């Protein structure tokens, strides 16, 4: 079909909403988009028809996905598409030889289902992966290679129940973990656990710490290029300050693996599992459980939600409340505001 003959249909549907329907002139796929208001639908329809008529040919459709990804990374070197490296590599290897016109919702859904099955991912994890890939598909929309991102039709449950029950550790349990870790792995597991416990940081944030991120004069740690794409600086507790001040400096990394290099997730994970087998405490806790436990005990001792948001580095207060806003009244040590 020639783009000169391109037409779209607008019609009212149930729920006082409106539908724009058209046949994609390049892929010959039928596309439907819903809108909450008539005004939004008309504006989209005009933009859609104008854009196709102004761009009668789409040179990108016959390009390979590998070529478009390379173009994207050249134009957007800070793209978060590569944030989850294993998933990025699998996406690249799965679709590298595909032409853009061969990518559709069905193929993408099939890929997500495969990743979920192979890695036992939750819907929440798939939402994060989709968010990373959105940087690439959004770029394709921006340069006119696509009118609509096919990812827009790949949906997951936005409020799924946790796939694994969240594990919280009490102060006594954390103290015992530190004592046992210091005995079991004083130069590898112990410094990482100690820092995680005192900062509520993510595991990778601690792995990435360099001595240049430590400011002993101000008593701060700076986590660089965190999960939400920003740097985060926090004050160290007195105990953490003394611990890091006395820690020997080997190279640029604050903490290193036994070989003296940057700590890797797989190597650390194997040591972590071995430690839990040697010192079981009845709870199946992970490194992220230390972050949950930091938040739980912080709120339990009277900490404020906005303070917790800043410390943990959440983008919005709603995320902090969704994760930790269900603290039970019986968990609050001193619920009375009065000292009489």
| 213-223 confidence digits (pLDDT tens) | 999 999 999 99
Q: What order do you get walking across the sheet with 17-23 strand by strand?
A: 8-13, 17-23, 30-35
Query: What are the tokens at 283?
Result: 């709870």
Q: Specify if 114 maps to a domain.
A: yes
Q: What order do you get walking across the sheet with 214-215 strand by strand?
A: 214-215, 220-223, 232-235
CA angle 183, 185, 189 (to 5 degrees): 125
Give dist(CA 301, CA 291) in Å, integer. Answer: 16
What's the predicted TM-score (pTM) here?
0.58
**CATH code for the domain in which residue 285 is found:** 1.10.443.10
Same domain? For 244 and 265 the reply is: yes
Supply the pLDDT for residue 285: 94
**CATH code for the domain in which residue 134 is found:** 1.10.150
Q: Specify if 159 maps to a domain.
A: no
Instruction: Out of 127, 153, 179, pick the residue that ends a domain.
Output: 153
Supply the pLDDT for residue 86: 87
Cα–Cα distances in Å, from 29 out to 44, 102, 158? Answer: 18, 11, 27
Same domain? For 241 and 290 the reply is: yes
Q: Specify if 295 maps to a domain.
A: yes
Give strand pairing partners of 8.
22
Q: Specify if 336 maps to a domain.
A: no
Same domain? For 27 and 142 the reply is: no
Same domain? For 175 and 274 the reply is: yes
* Those residues with Cβ within 8 angstroms of residue 261's Cβ, 6 or more apart along the chain or in another chain: 253
Concatenated DSSP letters of 72-98: HHHH-TT-GGGSSHHHHHHHHHHHTTS
Q: For the chain, what is the domain count?
A: 3
Instruction: Out of 153, 181, 209, pick the residue that ends a domain.
Output: 153
Query: What are the tokens at 255?
Result: 């903490």
| 50-64 confidence digits (pLDDT tens) | 666 655 567 788 899
Same domain? For 118 and 243 the reply is: no
Q: Specify if 166 maps to a domain.
A: no
* Those residues with Cβ within 8 angstroms of residue 111's Cβ, 6 or more apart along the chain or in another chain: 91, 94, 95
Supply the pLDDT for residue 161: 64
Q: Specify if 163 maps to a domain.
A: no
Same domain? For 75 and 175 the reply is: no
Same domain? For 37 and 114 the reply is: no
Same domain? For 233 and 315 the reply is: yes
| 218-246 confidence digits (pLDDT tens) | 999 999 988 777 899 999 999 999 999 99
In eight-state DSSP terms, residue 98 is S
Same domain? For 143 and 176 the reply is: no
Supply the pLDDT for residue 213: 97
Query: What are the tokens at 212?
Result: 């240049």
Same domain? For 181 and 291 the reply is: yes
Same domain? For 259 and 124 the reply is: no
Question: In residues, how long is the chain?
Answer: 340
Supply the pLDDT for residue 320: 84
The pairing of strands 232-235 and 220-223 is antiparallel
* Segments in the chain below pLDDT 70: 1-5, 25-29, 50-57, 158-164, 327-340
Domain span holding position 100: 65-153
**Collapsed DSSP state (helix, strand, coil) of residue 338:** coil
Same domain? For 246 and 268 the reply is: yes
Instruction: Out of 153, 181, 198, pick the residue that ends a domain.
Output: 153
Rg (CA), the chain: 25
Q: Specify if 149 maps to a domain.
A: yes
Given a contact cutoff of 8 angstroms between Cβ atoms, the answer to whether 286 and 167 are in contact is: yes
Q: Specify if 260 maps to a domain.
A: yes
Give dist(CA 83, CA 80) in Å, integer. Answer: 5
- How far apart are the two ends of the chain, measured CA to CA in Å? 82
Give dist(CA 61, CA 57) in Å, integer. Answer: 9
């Amino acid at each position: 079909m020639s783009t000169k003959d391109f037409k779209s249909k607008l019609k009212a549907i149930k729920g006082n909403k409106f539908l724009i329907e058209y046949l994609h002139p390049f892929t010959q796929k039928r596309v439907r988009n819903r809108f909450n208001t008539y005004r939004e639908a008309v504006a989209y329809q005009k933009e859609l028809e104008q854009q196709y008529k102004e761009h009668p040919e789409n040179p990108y459709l016959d390009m390979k996905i590998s070529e478009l990804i390379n173009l994207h990374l050249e134009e957007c070197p800070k793209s978060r598409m590569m944030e989850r490296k294993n998933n990025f590599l699998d996406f690249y290897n799965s679709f590298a030889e595909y032409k853009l016109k061969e990518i559709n919702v069905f193929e993408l859904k099939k890929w997500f289902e495969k990743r979920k099955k192979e890695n036992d991912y939750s819907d929440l994890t798939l939402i994060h992966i989709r968010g990373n890939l959105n940087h690439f598909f959004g770029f394709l929309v921006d340069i006119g290679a696509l009118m609509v991102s096919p990812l827009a039709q790949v949906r997951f449950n936005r409020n799924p129940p946790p796939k694994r029950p969240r594990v919280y550790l009490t102060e006594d349990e954390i103290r015992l973990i530190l004592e046992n870790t210091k005995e079991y792995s004083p130069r590898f597991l112990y410094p990482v656990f100690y820092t995680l416990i005192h900062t509520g940081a993510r595991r990778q944030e601690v792995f990435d710490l360099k001595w240049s991120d430590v400011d002993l004069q101000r008593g701060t740690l700076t986590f660089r290029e965190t999960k939400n794409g920003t740097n985060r600086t926090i004050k160290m507790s007195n105990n953490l300050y003394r611990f890091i001040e006395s820690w020997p400096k080997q190279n640029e990394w604050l903490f290193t693996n036994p070989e003296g290099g940057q700590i890797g997730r797989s190597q650390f994970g194997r040591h972590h599992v071995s430690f839990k087998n040697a010192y079981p405490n009845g709870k199946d806790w992970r490194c992220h459980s230390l972050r949950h436990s930091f938040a739980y005990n912080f709120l339990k001792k009277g900490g404020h939600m906005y303070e917790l948001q800043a410390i943990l580095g959440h983008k919005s207060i709603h995320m902090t409340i969704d994760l930790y806003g269900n603290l039970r009244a019986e968990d609050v040590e001193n619920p009375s505001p009065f000292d009489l």
